[in-house]
A and B are shown apart, each in its own frame.
Chain A
């Protein structure tokens, strides 16, 4: 079955450490997204990518970086510059075109500080 796989499910970061969250999709979707979810705040967009080798900052990009070298993969790096990284991170993808195509989500990665 097609879907979005996020790994790991749980991740712990030490002070000053960069960590990378994996997101892989086999839906043949062009667009991919990373969201951060905090209790009571909904989902906030970190980065998004419409096509390979192109990505754009979302609303809260500071302290994060991404790459899009393959259509299937959109990894997110949480850098040491992100001072409050503890959150639930969700990756999504969608078919190209108008905004009427829904986004499909992975099962998330929960990041905590050691």
Chain B
């Protein structure tokens, strides 16, 4: 069984400030981890993913995330927030169970990011 916890349903930052969105996961097998972004009334867009290898993953729009197995975390960061980053962000986990899988994702509850001028 897998689960994802996103700490903080709302995060507010000033333009130019560091963005930190927290994600902790639980998985009985090595996980694949994803961050998605959703703008109002739109679908989800993939920001980045961790599968294997390098634990620091770079994504689109200047975002990056670090997989920390010991902390079961996959926090999303961006050094300097832009107004266009305002959106809802979702962390998701998929099981790396070996063999063919259905690629089912378990999502966190989402974090709404507000960026103030």
Bound together, the chains give a CA A97 to CA B43 distance in angstroms of 23
Query: Which residues from chain B contact A102 at a C-beta distance below 8 Å?
Result: 34, 46, 49
CB distance from B15 to the nearest CB of A (A): 26
Bound together, the chains give a CA A48 to CA B46 distance in angstroms of 19
- How many Cβ-Cβ contacts under 8 Å join chain A to chain B? 74
Interface residues on A, range: 20 to 34
Task: Give residues in A with beta carbon < 8 Å to B.
Answer: 4, 6, 31, 33, 40-45, 48, 50, 56, 58, 88, 90, 92, 94, 96-108, 110
State the majority secondary structure of interface residues on B: loop
15 contacts between A and B (CB under 8 A): A33-B104, A40-B110, A42-B109, A42-B110, A43-B107, A94-B103, A97-B100, A98-B100, A99-B97, A100-B32, A100-B51, A102-B34, A102-B49, A103-B105, A108-B42
Asked if B84 is at the interface (CB within 8 A of a chain A CB), the reply is no
* Contact (Cβ within 8 A) B46 A99: no
Bound together, the chains give a CA A12 to CA B104 distance in angstroms of 29
